[in-house]
A and B are shown apart, each in its own frame.
Chain A
Amino acid sequence: MAEALIHLAATLAGIAFLLALYRFFRGPSAADRVIAFDVLTIVAITGIVLVAFVEGRGIYLDVALIYALLSFLGVIAVARYLERGL
């Protein structure tokens, strides 16, 4: 039962990833791509946590944490760049 639910969750997250990917390529503005990238990262964090469970390796959670940290800094940096660069 729990296994089926995890498959379902992974599928839903996968579709969310594809939708965000569409927005990432479609744009049209840079800000659109950045928010799409942000959502991709957040979805990926859930993905990493699911993989950690399936593989039974808690160390992957550290990867998820660092990933969240880098994404945050990345979005802030790009937003700053947009304000000054354009």
Chain B
Amino acid sequence: MAHPLDLLGGLLLVAGAAFLLFGGLGLVRMPDVFNRIQAGTKATTLGTLLSLAGMACLRPEWGLKLLLIGLFILFTNPISSQVLARAAHRTGAEKTVKTSVDRLAEDTGEAP
């Protein structure tokens, strides 16, 4: 078990899980839906990529399939969050009072 690659894999897995945790924390702490989407997407994308890389170190024979999962998440995660953010904005989701500017609402003529 003391193989250096095993150790690296374990550490990458822990780092990945830590970012997942930050994502979860951001989801709970952030003040409005847009900030939550930001926290949710970014942290979970990197977290998953790190976890998958860690697993690829532990089980190199799974490497290709893990790479495929990673590529898929890297490509689809931002798309789904953009579509969701757009839907939230179009349906008039509430923005935190800290929000300083909303050019989109100005341009589409909604109340800011």
Q: A9-B13, A29-B33 are in contact. Are A42 and B88 (CB under 8 A)?
A: no
- How many A-B contacts if CB must be within 8 Å? 178
* Proximity string of chain B (39-71) to chain A, C-beta cutoff 8 Å, 1 when within and 0 when not: 011001101100110110011011001101100
Would you call the interface of chain B mostly helix, strand, loop, or mixed? helix
A9 to B72, CA, bound (A): 22
Task: State the B residues within 8 Å of A (CB).
Answer: 1-2, 6-7, 9-11, 13-14, 16-18, 20-21, 23-25, 27-28, 33, 36-37, 40-41, 44-45, 47-48, 51-52, 54-55, 58-59, 61-62, 65-66, 68-69, 72-73, 76-77, 79-81, 83-84, 86-88, 90-91, 93-94
